Structure formats: structure tokens, C-alpha cells
Amino acid sequence: MITDILTTYNIPDCSVVDYTDGNKVFGAGHLLLSLMQRTAPYRTRDVAPAPLSAVVKEAKHWIDGVERYIHTIPPHLVLTALYPFDLVHRMAFHRPASPAFLNRWYTHVFNAKVKGDRQISDSALLGVISARLSHRDPLYFDRPLLWYSSTLDRWMKLCAGSAEFADMPLDEALGIAASLIDNDLIVFVPDQDAFKHRLAANYASRLDDIDAGDADTLRAALHFVRTARYRYIAADCAAHFELHLLRQLSRNPNLDPNDRQAYSLDLDYLLAPSLD
């Protein structure tokens, strides 16, 4: 349900979000972030300002709902639900989310993964562990670090130096490619920069042909482009891909309505001129 606050923007009513559904939680969080970047403290493009107090009010409702019901979300959707959590928390309360809260649920997902939950995305989990390792969080120095290292090793053996993953669904391959681009591979290849350039070129060549109805692959592609741009995909080429993917996602009937609206706002924001 979306409540009409202004004629310009629809602010999500976070009192009625289904907090047991990780995709719906993500969709509402994504929309809050898309609206928040249009509020006075963050707006850098020539778009109509969104009402800060209304967005912050719903953001606080959303944070409360996530904290209350995260235990009801299946492990394979917990990372999806939590993806916007820290940034929404920072914008709503001007401080980071509780590391203890996040670590509790990241550990919950990790334990489910090592116990055999195949629905949990390897690339999403590796991204979380990589981020925590970069912050020198000792909680991740034992089993998570071993899993992180063995997963990178397994992926590098899968592509066998070819910078491509054969017989793998494209959304999974794009997620792995983004993870490899974003992590240090010096122990696996003599020239990791050249390898990452090949990897980016191989998968960038496949982005224009993604089925417009395949929401999972479109989202994986958008994450891949945003990870590789500037370093391994030229800025103008990345901008073309990003706009194309946002257009497809903003029209995708398989997405949660809040999520779809957020992609539409993201597209509009990118197309707007800078305020500078």
C-alpha cells in the first residue's frame, strides 16, 4: 500500500509492509533511499524535493518493522531484506545501524549456508563477509574467512583463467563476476587487473540481450555494472547500461511495486541535470 503525501511523490506506508517477505522489505527500503536522495540534505540534481520529515517518519517505521520481524524471514532472503538497512538507518537517525544486530543476522545466514541451504546466494554472502573483513571485524576471522577464501578459490577454478563461467545461469555468473571484480585476487592470478578487464568485457557484451521480464538477472546486471564502472567498464558505456537496465526494471511487472517505483525514481534522478 502506498499513501499519497504529495502530488509529486508517493511515500510508502511502512506500517503495512509485509515484514515477513524479504523482497517486500527490500522494495520499501529501496524506495525510501530513492526518496531520501531527493530530500534537501542529499539532493544534488534538479528534481522536485521530497518531503524530508515524511520520508524520515516512514524510514523509522521501516527500521522498527525490520528489527521486529527479521526472525520470520527465510535465511535466503535475510540479506536481501537487510541490504538497505544500514544506509536507511544512517539517513533516519544520523548514525550507523547496530553492528551487533547486523552481525547476529549475517551469522545466522552464514550458519544456514554452511549447513547446506543452497538457496542462499554465494555472491551476496561473500559480499557481506568481504565488507566485514575490510572493517577488521574479528567475528569473521575464523570460519567466515575460511569460507570466503575457499569460495574465491572455487570460482577461480570454475572459470579456469578464461574469465567466463560456462553452463551457469547469467544472474549467478554476473553476481560472481561482480564479486571477483570487487575483491583482491592477487593469490589466484598473476595479473588480476588484466583478468578483471577480461571478465568485465565478457559479461558487458551480454547485457543488452537480457530478457526484459527477468528481474533477477536485470538486478544482477545492474549490480555488476555499478561494481565495474570506471575501473573496468568505461564511464560512458556504464552509463548506457545503467540507464537501459533501470528502464527495464522500472517497467518490470515481477517486482514489488515499491521496488519498481524506486527504480523509476532512480532513472529519473540520473537523467536530471546537476544542480552545480
Q: If you average pLDDT over residues 147-169, what whole number do you get? A: 91
Categorize the per-residue pLDDT at 167 as very low, low, confident or very high, splitting at 50, 70 and 90: confident
Same domain as 1, residue 107? yes
Categorize the per-residue pLDDT at 16 as very low, low, confident or very high, splitting at 50, 70 and 90: very high
Strand ranges for the chain from DSSP E: 2-4, 10-12
pTM of the full structure: 0.93
Is residue 114 classed exposed, middle or buried when 0-12, 13-18 and 19+ CB atoms within 10 A define those classes?
middle
Categorize the per-residue pLDDT at 242 as very low, low, confident or very high, splitting at 50, 70 and 90: very high
> By residue range, what is the domain housing residue 71?
1-119
Q: Is residue 94 part of a domain?
A: yes
Q: What residues does 275 pair with on adjacent strands? A: none
As a whole number, the mean pLDDT across the chain is 94
Number of domains in the chain: 2
Phi-psi group of 230: left, alpha or beta (phi > 0 → left; psi -120 to 50 → alpha; rest → beta): left
- On the question of pLDDT at 1 being above 90, the answer is no
Q: What is the pLDDT of residue 3?
A: 36
Q: Is residue 142 part of a domain?
A: no
pLDDT, tens digit (0-9, with 9 covering 90-100), for 63-94: 999 999 999 999 999 999 999 999 999 999 99
| Final residue of a structural domain among 68, 86, 119 | 119
Same domain as 164, residue 113? no
Q: What's the CA gap between 88 and 228, in Å, rounded?
A: 24
Q: What's the sign of the alpha-carbon dihedral 34, 35, 39, 41?
A: negative
Is residue 236 classed exposed, middle or buried when 0-12, 13-18 and 19+ CB atoms within 10 A define those classes?
exposed
